[in-house]
């Protein structure tokens, strides 16, 4: 298999795997060649996300941030969902240092109708928080949790699981509960399930905290009952 870009590129090489390299070059033509190669590589991933994340990491490692973002934006145009997953991984790696990359995740990737892309959006948001620092990321966490898109809100609730395994929230589990609990009556069942599961996770180490929280809920609403059932599952089991 032949390299798809000139070997004298100043941006280095992106490994396709199996010893083949794609060399990055700062040009629209080369960006298109690279995205085409990534799409072909990505479509071979039938299950899991490991190689898609590896492809994103190789793009990040092989060029500057502007070139990587350009590749990501082109990949988002692909009809191949795996390629859009690679794009989302790339944007997640860039987001802490690039507000535009973060905005693309929030405003564009959140609209993707493929559930696998939404799973990577959650991972990308967690990467942003980790790179930023979870406490420093609190304003953005709150902003995303109040977004109009349920996918944007879920990127936070699902991405930060297990919340109390993350720095800051490990020492402040009550802060995690305070952020999650208001979403118990969210319009999206998809999101409510994520919230309930996240609270259940927290209950493993902080049962009294979750017990006290759910005791205050009004269970007249079906959605709240759904979240309560998930959140309190371990509290009411024989092993609790």
pLDDT tens digit string along 168-226?
A: 999 999 999 999 999 999 999 999 999 999 999 999 999 999 999 999 999 999 999 99
Extract the runs of DSSP E, i.e. beta strands, from the chain.
13-17, 20-23
For residue 8, pLDDT beyond 80: no
Q: How many CB atoms lie within 10 A of CB 104?
A: 21
Contact 104, 91 (CB under 8 A): yes
pTM: 0.86
| Residue from 137, 149, 131 nearest 175 by CA | 137
């Amino acid at each position: 298999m032949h390299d798809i870009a000139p070997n004298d590129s100043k941006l280095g090489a992106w490994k396709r795997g199996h010893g083949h390299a794609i060399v990055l070059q700062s040009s629209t033509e080369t960006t298109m060649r690279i995205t085409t190669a990534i799409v072909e590589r990505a479509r071979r991933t039938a299950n899991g996300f490991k190689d898609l994340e590896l492809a994103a990491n190789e793009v990040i490692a092989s060029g500057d941030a502007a070139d990587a973002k350009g590749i990501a934006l082109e990949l988002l145009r692909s009809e191949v969902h795996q390629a859009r997953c690679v794009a989302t991984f790339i944007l997640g790696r860039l987001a802490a240092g690039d507000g535009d990359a973060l905005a693309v995740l929030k405003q564009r990737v959140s609209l993707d109708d493929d559930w696998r892309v939404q799973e990577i959006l959650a991972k990308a948001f967690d990467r942003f928080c980790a790179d930023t620092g979870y406490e420093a990321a609190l304003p953005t966490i709150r902003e995303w949790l109040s977004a109009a898109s349920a996918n944007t809100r879920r990127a936070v609730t699902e991405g930060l699981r297990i919340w109390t395994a993350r720095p800051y929230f490990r020492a402040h589990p009550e802060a995690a509960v305070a952020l999650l609990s208001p979403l118990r009556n969210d319009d999206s069942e998809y999101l409510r399930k994520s919230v309930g599961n996240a609270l259940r996770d927290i209950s493993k180490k902080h049962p009294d905290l979750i017990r006290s929280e759910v005791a205050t809920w009004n269970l007249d609403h079906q959605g709240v009952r759904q979240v309560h059932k998930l959140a309190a599952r371990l509290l009411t089991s024989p092993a609790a």
